[in-house]
């Protein structure tokens, strides 16, 4: 992450409930533009380029201050038929519980709007932030909600370097356990599988065991997706700070690499009796909405 200054801008958004092309998801809500966590592998880093051409991903966040009011209006306008009701996901190109949520509470307010609307579909949340436990009482009021934590290691320093300003992995596991113990249906997103970590003997097992112990009902597991834009940004960081890892990350693009890793993951999950979403390790380029 460069030492540019961090900019926060309050903006008025034109739309907040957007149709999604993601598998398992019908609608997405992104209460913020940009993401302070600034993960170095983030697939969403290109999204802000239009509004923020000269700023590094992670160094700006747009606050969509009208998000709750807009959501209220769009729920009525966009969900006219029962077939429009589906899974609403927070969030696809930002983290809904990044630090600024403590002040602006846009995610919380959007969830309250969904409750007031008596939304009948499923709500799915995914975050790397421990702030998510703040809303446990709110989650309990939904009849169909699941809350996920993205966790890619058990505290490996390079994994945490790659997830620049996100909460440490151990505290994400603690948040996951707190949510599960409160009776919230939880899951974990283990992705991307980080090539420097996944081959360390016993480490993947330790991670999946910890996720199971924290009460996750199932896991999504995803391979690293090195599109040209993701690769360019990620490799700039690695070249500078961890050049010894470049070869490992490059190898991860090979189908043989993924096949071998898939077998290991399947075996570990079978041993742990931890269900795998879609019964496969996801690879972004093969994903299709069912
Ligand atoms: S938390 Fe998610 S959206 Fe935010 S930078 Fe990391 S990968 Fe991107």
Q: What is the pLDDT along the chain (290 residues), one digit of tens a residue?
A: 555 689 999 999 999 999 998 989 999 999 999 999 999 999 999 888 888 999 999 999 999 999 999 999 999 999 999 899 999 999 999 999 999 999 999 999 999 999 999 999 999 999 999 999 999 999 999 999 999 999 999 999 999 999 999 999 999 999 999 999 999 999 999 999 999 998 887 999 999 999 999 999 999 999 999 999 999 999 999 999 999 999 999 999 999 999 999 999 999 999 999 999 999 999 987 665 54
37 in ligand 1 pocket by Cβ < 6 Å? yes
Pinpoint the alpha helices (H) of 214-254. 228-241, 246-251
Residue 1 belongs to a domain: no
Residue in this structure with the two tokens 């092309």, named with its chain if needed: 21
Helix (H/G/I), strand (E/B), else coil: 60: strand
Beta strands in the chain (DSSP E): 7-11, 17-19, 27-29, 32-33, 60-64, 87-90, 122-127, 145-150, 185-190, 218-221
1 in ligand 1 pocket by Cβ < 6 Å? no
**Among the atoms of ligand 1, which is closest to the Cα of residue 94?**
3
On whether the CB atoms of residues 274 and 187 are closer than 8 A, the answer is: no
Ligand 1 centre distance from Cα of residue 35 (Å): 6
Nearest partner of 123 among 144, 107, 108, 109, judged by Cα: 144
Ligand 1 centre distance from Cα of residue 36 (Å): 8
Number of separate domains in the chain: 1
Q: Which CATH number fits the domain that encloses residue 85? A: 3.20.20.70
151 in ligand 1 pocket by Cβ < 6 Å? no
Helix (H/G/I), strand (E/B), else coil: 124: strand
Q: Which domain holds residue 62?
A: 7-286
Residue 2 belongs to a domain: no
Residue 282 belongs to a domain: yes
């Amino acid at each position: 992450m460069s030492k540019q200054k961090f900019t926060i801008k309050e903006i008025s958004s034109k739309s907040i409930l957007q149709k999604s092309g993601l598998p398992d998801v019908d609608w997405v809500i992104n209460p913020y533009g940009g993401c302070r966590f600034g993960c170095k592998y983030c697939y969403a880093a290109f999204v802000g380029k239009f509004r923020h051409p000269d700023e590094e991903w992670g160094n700006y966040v747009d606050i969509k201050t009208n998000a709750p009011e807009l959501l209220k209006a769009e729920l009525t306008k966009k969900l006219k038929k029962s077939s429009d009701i589906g899974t609403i996901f927070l969030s696809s190109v930002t983290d809904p519980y990044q630090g600024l949520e403590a002040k602006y509470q846009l995610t919380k307010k959007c969830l309250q709007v969904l409750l007031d609307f008596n939304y009948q579909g499923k709500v799915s949340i995914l975050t790397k932030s421990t702030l998510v436990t703040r809303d446990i009482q709110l989650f309990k009021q939904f009849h169909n909600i699941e809350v996920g934590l993205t966790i890619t290691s058990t505290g490996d320093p390079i994994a945490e370097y790659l997830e620049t300003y996100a909460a440490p992995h151990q505290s994400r596991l603690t948040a996951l356990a707190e949510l599960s113990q409160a009776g919230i249906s939880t899951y974990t997103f283990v992705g991307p599988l980080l090539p420097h970590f996944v081959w360390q003997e016993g480490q993947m097992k330790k991670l999946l065991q910890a996720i199971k112990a924290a009460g996750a009902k199932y896991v999504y597991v995803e391979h690293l997706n090195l599109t040209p834009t993701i690769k360019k940004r990620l490799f700039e960081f690695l070249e500078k700070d961890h050049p010894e890892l470049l070869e490992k990350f490059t190898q991860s693009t090979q189908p043989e690499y993924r096949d071998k890793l898939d077998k290991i993951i399947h075996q570990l999950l079978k041993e742990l009796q931890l269900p795998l979403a879609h019964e496969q390790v996801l690879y972004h380029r093969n994903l299709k909405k069912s």
